[in-house]
């Protein structure tokens, strides 16, 4: 039985366990195979980076401030994407984008905070 390249369908000569006729076909096949996953992850990472940049711009050097949800939304903040949650002993749940976080308050206000890095 003649083996054919998984990418282009050409006949393969050489080793018995060979799957591709050339390095170019092997690269094309693997790039196509991984492209959907890669694009999905890339898009989410771009959203997270944008959210982090927005929080970084809005949090003052003292590390804490309150502001209305509209100010975050107007800058393009996407509330659906965070990196982790932090629940305090009192039950308050902070949402974090890397080291920058926010806590929902009353009347669509948020308290923005920065978490100190433990190195």
Q: What is the pLDDT of residues 59-93, one digit of tens each?
A: 998 889 999 999 999 999 999 999 999 999 999 99
CA distances, 22 to each of 7, 9, 12, 78, 80 (Å)? 10, 12, 9, 44, 43
Is it the case that residue 117 has pLDDT exceeding 70?
no
What confidence score (pLDDT) does residue 95 get? 97
For the beta carbon of residue 89, count every other beta carbon within 10 angstroms.
5
Torsion of CA 57, 63, 68, 69, to 10 degrees: 60
Q: Where do the H-state alpha helices sit in 21-87? A: 23-58, 69-74
Reported as a single tens digit per residue, the pLDDT across 10-67 is 999 989 999 999 999 999 999 888 777 778 888 999 999 999 999 999 999 888 999 9
The pTM is what?
0.70
Q: Which residues pair with 109 in a beta bridge?
A: 68
Instruction: Report residue 118's pLDDT band, with 50, 70 and 90 as the boundaries.
Output: low
């Amino acid at each position: 039985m003649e083996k054919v390249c998984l990418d282009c369908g050409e006949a393969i000569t050489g080793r018995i366990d060979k799957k591709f006729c050339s390095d170019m076909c092997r690269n094309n096949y693997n790039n196509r195979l991984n492209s959907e996953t890669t694009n999905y992850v890339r898009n989410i990472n771009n959203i997270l980076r944008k959210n982090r940049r927005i929080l970084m711009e809005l949090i003052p050097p003292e590390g804490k401030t309150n502001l209305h949800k509209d100010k975050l939304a107007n800058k393009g903040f996407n509330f659906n994407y965070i990196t982790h949650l932090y629940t305090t002993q009192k039950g308050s749940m902070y949402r974090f984008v890397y080291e920058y976080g926010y806590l929902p308050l009353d009347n669509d206000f948020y308290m923005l905070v920065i978490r100190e890095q433990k190195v």
